Amino acid sequence: MSLGSGWLFYDGWVWGMRATGCYSKSLEQEQDLLSNGKQHRPRDARDNANKQAISKNEDEDGDIRVSGMKMNGFSDEYLDRIEPNGNIPDKDCSWDHLVHNNGSNGDHSSTTTHEPLSRQLSVSSDSKLLDEDIRDEHKVIMRPKKPPRPKSEVYLCKDHRKSKRYSAFGGDSPFGRTEAYMKLDQLGEGSYATVYKGYSNLTNQVVALKEIRLQEEEGAPFTAIREASLLKQLKHANIVTLHDIIHTRETLTFVFEYVHTDLSQYLEKHGGGLHPRNVKLFLFQLLRGLSYCHRRRILHRDIKPQNLLISEIGELKIADFGLARAKSVPSHTYSHEVVTLWYRPPDVLLGSTDYSTSLDMWGVGCIFTEMITGVPAFPGVRDVQDQLDKIFKVVGTPTEETWPGVSQLPNYKPHKMVLYRSRRLASLFPRLHEIPNAENLAQAFLQIQPNRRASSESGLRHQYFADLPPEIFKLNPEISIYSIGAVRIATEMHNYPNAVIQASREIRKKV
């Protein structure tokens, strides 16, 4: 018997047909629920011929509630018989099965057969049951997700780096990447490297980029590896700072602090000799930096004006440690092919490999004299013999009497040498007379015998520096001498125009 749209009454059972499934409840069960005090909001039946008091509720979203329980289109009996895989058995919804279970008329049960009623589950429950079924069939073990990996300490504390040097030599950091720096202008080019003025995107500072070209078969030059390893351990105000190292397939780039000029360019711009005050400050800083290296048994081996950088405030920094060596001193294993010819000591020119810190001190004496006079002390032109001749004219030609053992050196050839007597430096460089104690200090550095040359430590204690503030001798190695208020660079006496400077550079290139 029809009760209305979507409802059917048959043999004491009420059947609810919905799009989402089937609903059944016997009248006796409904009456029991009503008698137990359950509150229901009656729904008007649309079939006026056979009205029955069927208690149903419909909530706001359209789902039917029976006996206060949300059924989603299924009775309690059906939901209790759900199989483990989430499906409702077909036999439970067949017409014959329900009729037999209800004790209905035998005619209907024996003669009437119907297709199983169509049932559907809600989308959410259907998807969930399907996922569970797939897991059971394939026996997949669902492991819990791993917790997120914690970030590196470097990224958690990226704003608290120890120092620029620390970031350059290890650890996970943005340093060491090509994109961190930008090339601006080319400053110079050597036999194996090109130096550029650059800009650091990390520190927002101007830097110097020394780009070393790598050979595919040979790899990085040994001089570059040596320079990097030495500069890592040298932290001094008068030694150039290495900020970073960038390695690619084609190049190896060193990132240095930028210093706007070097002593060679400074001498060209201020020809005729520097201000005596500035000469003293530059020499003091040079000896201070070399003393720091020599105490650590490091020889620079290429002291020359091009390798001494000068900042705008007059701070001198030793650079280019490509030929430097860190070894016990003295040593018998060094090469004699070191130091630019003009600043090479006579013992090395004669082929000696038995040298120590005295190698650097000869170059200091040559630079000291050049800063005072404005011209190189021993400007050799052709070869080693010409350079030796320039030196012997000043310090005298060595013999076994004046230099025991000199005749045993490989390049000592008396038949090619002119015999000269030693002369006072002031007779050749008159400006040394004008500066107190300058000639005496220069003479101490330019001794022909290496074991008689003054060391960097003894040079710092020389009377020539007596008028400097006492606290300058007690400074921490990493503190600049210009941190002392009384120490300031003086204005130079000569300032040549750029045209004269350029002409002087061309002459030097030809020499």
**290 in Cβ contact with 477 (< 8 Å):** no
The chain-wide mean pLDDT, for the chain, equals 75
CATH class of residue range 261-510: mainly alpha
Rounded to an integer, the average pLDDT of 127-135 is: 60
Inter-helix orientation angle 358-373/276-295, to 10°:
170
Would you say residue 310 has pLDDT above 80?
yes
CA distance 506 to 235: 36
pLDDT average, residue stretch 487-496: 84
List Cβ neighbours of 160 (8 Å cut-off, separation of 6 or more).
none
Q: Give the Cα separation of 147 and 153 in Å (integer).
A: 18
Q: Token pair of 462, please?
A: 């020389």
| Nearest of 190, 157, 188, 192 to residue 171 by alpha carbon | 157
* Distance from C-alpha of 263 to C-alpha of 304, rounded to nearest angstrom: 9
Whether the pLDDT of residue 244 is over 70: the answer is yes
Residue that is written with structure tokens 């070393």 in the block: 212
Question: pLDDT at position 308, please?
Answer: 96
Of residues 102 and 454, which shows the higher confidence score?
454
Residue 183 annotated as part of some ligand binding site = no
Residue 470 and residue 481 in contact, taking contact as beta carbons nearer than 8 Å: no
Q: For 128-160, b where at least 16 C-beta lie within 10 A, e where not — what string?
A: ebeeeeeeeeeeeeeeeeeeeeeeeeeeeeeee
DSSP state of 189: E
User: Is pLDDT above 80 for 45?
Assistant: no
393 has pLDDT over 60: yes
What's the confidence (pLDDT) of residue 191?
74
Q: Quick one: pLDDT at residue 506?
A: 67
pLDDT higher than 70, residue 8: no
Q: Return the H-helix or E-strand segment holding 295.
A: helix 276-295
The residue-averaged pLDDT of 439-457 equals 95
Question: Per-residue pLDDT averaged across 78-99, rounded?
Answer: 52
Q: Where in the chain is the domain with CATH 1.10.510.10?
A: 261-510
pLDDT in tens, 193-231: 899 999 999 889 999 999 988 877 666 777 788 888 888
Q: Region 474-496: what's the mean pLDDT?
A: 89
Q: Is residue 369 left, alpha or beta, with left meaning phi > 0 and alpha meaning psi from -120 to 50?
A: alpha
Quick one: pLDDT band at residue 236, thresholds 50, 70, 90? Answer: very high
According to the model, what pLDDT value does residue 62 have?
A: 46
Per-residue pLDDT reduced to its tens digit, 394-434: 999 999 999 999 999 999 988 888 899 999 999 989 999 89
pLDDT of 151: 52
Q: Are strands 69-70 and 181-189 parallel, antiparallel or unpaired?
A: unpaired
448 pLDDT more than 90: yes
The pLDDT of residue 467 = 94
Per-residue pLDDT of 142-172, as tens digits, reads 556 666 655 544 444 444 445 444 444 445 5
**Of 92, 244, 302, 389, catalytic:** 302
Told to judge if 47 belongs to the known catalytic residues of this protein, a careful annotator would answer no
Average pLDDT over residues 455-482: 95
For range 261-280, the mean pLDDT: 92
Whether the pLDDT of residue 351 is over 70: the answer is yes
More confident: 259 or 4: 259
Structure tokens at 23: 């609903």
In this predicted structure, what is the pLDDT of residue 179?
85
Q: pTM of this prediction?
A: 0.64
Cα distance between residue 283 and residue 276, in whole Å = 11
Fold of the CATH domain 164-257: Phosphorylase Kinase; domain 1 (3.30.200)
Q: Given pLDDT bands bounded at 50, 70 and 90, which one contains residue 55? A: very low
User: Across the strands, what pairs with 187?
Assistant: none
Q: Are 364 and 288 in contact, with CB atoms under 8 Å apart?
A: no
Determine whether 80 is exposed, middle or buried from the number of CB atoms within 10 Å of its CB (0-12, 13-18, 19+).
exposed
Please list the helix, strand and coil fractions of the chain in percent, rounded to the nearest 5, in that order. 35, 15, 45
pLDDT at 261 over 70: yes
Q: Judge residue 42's burial from the number of C-beta atoms within 10 Å of its C-beta, 0-12 exposed, 13-18 middle, 19 or more buried.
A: exposed
Give tens-digit pLDDT for 320-347. 887 777 654 444 444 544 557 899 999 9
Share of the chain above pLDDT 70, in %: 59
Beta bridge partners of 355: 331
pLDDT band at 113 (very low <50, low <70, confident <90, very high): very low
Query: What local confidence, expressed as pLDDT, does residue 494 receive?
Result: 73
pLDDT in tens, 177-193: 888 899 999 988 877 78
Q: Check residues 268 and 160 and name the one with the higher pLDDT.
A: 268
The confidence score (pLDDT) of residue 159 equals 47
Whether the pLDDT of residue 372 is over 70: the answer is yes
Cα-Cα-Cα-Cα dihedral of 362, 363, 365, 366, to 10°?
120
CA atoms lying within 13 Å on the CB side of residue 296 = 16
Long-range CB contacts for residues 52-58, cutoff 8 Å, separation at least 24: 52/3, 52/9, 52/14, 52/27, 54/3, 54/7, 54/14, 54/25, 54/27, 54/30, 55/30
> Which tokens hold the place of 449?
């015998």
